[in-house]
Chains A and B, each alone.
Chain A
Amino acid sequence: MADYVSEGGSLRCVFGERLDTVNCMSLEKELLEKIKEMKSPVVFDMEKVQYIASSFLRICFQVTKEVGAGNLSLIKVNPEIKKVLKIAGVDKYIKID
């Protein structure tokens, strides 16, 4: 569901094109296990992502609860995805570039 790269004390998660409800069902468990195991700041690499559903927003909030505020950031986010993240209020809790 995602590729994981440990770099510079952070865990970078690289996602595919669609983070819809079905894909997030399998991603959620895998990702949270990885994060609990690593216990480091987390970066979501959104370069390839074209679509997100609310299940991905839920993952963002769960990861923030796990790693603490300020320790999750989203990078390479396209404008349409940024719009959805802002509408959902994710940008109030998570750094988005």
Chain B
Amino acid sequence: MPEETVVLENDISELETLRKALDGFGAKNSLSQNTVIEINLVLEEAVVNIIYYAYENKKERHKIVIGLGFENEVVVLRVEDDGVPFNLLHSPEPLFDTTAKEMKIGGLGIHLIRKLANSVSYHRTDGKNILTVQMRKQ
């Protein structure tokens, strides 16, 4: 792991590059459409979070490196960025016990990553955030 690497810039238009790369990865490894959809969703939410919040100067270009691979039958995704330290495992869960009117909209992307993944781990090494997500094939 990783078997494939996709390098993106911190620009929202790069989500299309990610989508195409995942379609190719899914076809090459005979993954079901639902598996590809869930991988895409988890990675899109992680990448969007990096693009929006990881860099103080959003005009500066940075690389976001995505690793795609397998361990036994589990899909392993790795997301690496050089932004400010951020461990999504420390983010609060959205509050679902309020009325719709009172509900604070935010944190839903991170909530989806945690719920769709089998396991999520984070570490910071050499000034980089490294998020590793394991997902079962559907």
| A residues apposed to B, CB below 8 Å | 20-22, 25, 50-55, 57-58, 61-62, 64-65, 69, 80, 84, 87-89, 92-94
Contact = CB atoms under 8 A, between A and B. Distances in A.
A50 B19 CA distance: 13
Identify the 4 closest CB pairs spanning chains A and B, nearest first: A54-B109, A54-B108, A89-B96, A64-B100
Interface of B: 12-13, 15-16, 19, 34, 37-38, 40-41, 44-45, 48, 94, 96, 99-101, 103, 105, 108-109, 111-112, 115-116
Given A58-B108, A69-B101, A21 B12 contact: yes
Contact of B41 (A22, A53, A61, A69): A53
Contacts of B34: 80
The dominant DSSP class at the B interface is helix
A76 B41 CA distance: 21
Given A61-B100, A65-B101, A84-B41, A21 B15 contact: yes
A61 B106 CA distance: 10
Contacts of B112: 54, 84, 87-88
